[in-house]
Amino acid sequence: MNRAKRAGRWFVDRVEDRSVWRHLAVYAASILLLLLFWEVASVVIRALKGGREYLPNPILTIREMVRLGPLLFQNFWISAWRLVLAILIAFSTGYPLGLLVGHERRLDELISPMIYIVYPIPQVAFILILFLIFGIGHPVKVAIVAIALFFQLLVSARGEAKQISLEHITSVISAGASRWQVYRHVILPATLPSILTSLRVSVGLGMAFLYIAETTGSVDPVRGGLGSFIKNNMYSTGQAFAGIIAMALLGLCLYIVIDVIERIVCRWTYTARRPL
């Protein structure tokens, strides 16, 4: 009990409790505003298209979401799990490798040409080949997203590692840092804020790749993830939109998680003196 309380206080200290409520209020206002736009767009399109429903209105969509609740929820979890797993795999491999390549000049000369040749090829191009070789199972879908994000994080980590101020490196080396400690105490923290930004970009990108992975080949409306769910309901707009909104919610959840992580691990960036 006491322990939980202390953990709670630790957490709140780190996210600055006063701003949490503000954030929630801003989010609520934004959601309301977006719903309003949506409603207006829906009405306008219906009027232009002679009364046919192309863009379902928010109320209808929410009602569909509730009606399809369990099925939608199941697919939500499948997609979320795939996306998070892919991001974790890409982050834990692409980030360190990018830092190494960016900082160690020899390695850079060796590996960067390879990266530049492979990176611009759209990884989705391999999707069918991967499906043919490995089948359309869960691992292949995760792998496709992970590969795409891996390159993205690798390239940005490499760029960030190259921009590190030599002064910081000199300062820890003169304080006796080993090679590994230079990474641990300078290169890693110096690149962390911008890598978290790349990670946010990755969420959007990963979502797009996941959609492609989940809609290529056969679609399974029950266990195929949100992509399959949307594609399968393409012609009943209310249901398709329920799936789209679920995807938006998934993205939002991940952004919030990244924000919270950033507040905890990049605390120093919130202390700088900023002009008004």
Partner 1 sequence: MIALRDVVVEYGRGVRAVRAVDRITLGVPQGQSLALIGPSGCGKSTLLFAVAGLIRATEGEIRIGGELVAGPRRDTALILQNAGLLPWKTVWQNANLSLLLAKEYPAATADAVLAELGLSDVKSRYPSELSEGMKRRVGIARALSTSPEVMLMDEPLASLDTLTKERIQDLFLKLWARHAFSFVLVTHDIEEAAFLGQRIVVLSPRPATVKAVVDNPEMGKLDYRESSAFRAVVFRLRAELERGA
Which residues form the interface with partner 1 (CB under 8 A)?
167-168, 170-178, 181, 185-186, 189-190, 192, 266-268, 271-273
Structure tokens at 17: 């409790």
* C-beta closer to partner 1: residue 177 or 260: 177
Separation between Cα atoms, residue 211 and residue 205, nearest integer Å? 10
Q: Least distance from C-beta 87 to partner 1, angstroms?
A: 23
Closest to 216 in 3D by CA, of 125, 152, 82, 147: 125
* C-beta closer to partner 1: residue 117 or 175: 175
Dihedral class, residue 117 (left if φ above 0, else alpha if ψ from -120 to 50, else beta): alpha
* C-beta closer to partner 1: residue 171 or 236: 171
Amino acid 269 reads T
Q: Least distance from C-beta 181 to partner 1, angstroms?
A: 6
Q: Least distance from C-beta 14 to partner 1, angstroms?
A: 14
**Structural contact between residues 86 and 150, judged by C-beta atoms closer than 8 angstroms:** no
* C-beta closer to partner 1: residue 85 or 177: 177
Q: Least distance from C-beta 96 to partner 1, angstroms?
A: 18
Backbone CA torsion sign across 211, 213, 216, 222? negative
Backbone CA torsion sign across 189, 194, 198, 201? positive
* C-beta closer to partner 1: residue 27 or 268: 268
Q: Give Cα 80 to chain centroid, integer Å.
A: 10
Q: Least distance from C-beta 242 to partner 1, angstroms?
A: 43
Q: Least distance from C-beta 23 to partner 1, angstroms?
A: 23
DSSP string, 74-95: HHHHHHHHHHHHHHHHHHHHHH
* C-beta closer to partner 1: residue 92 or 170: 170
Separation between Cα atoms, residue 191 and residue 99, nearest integer Å? 9
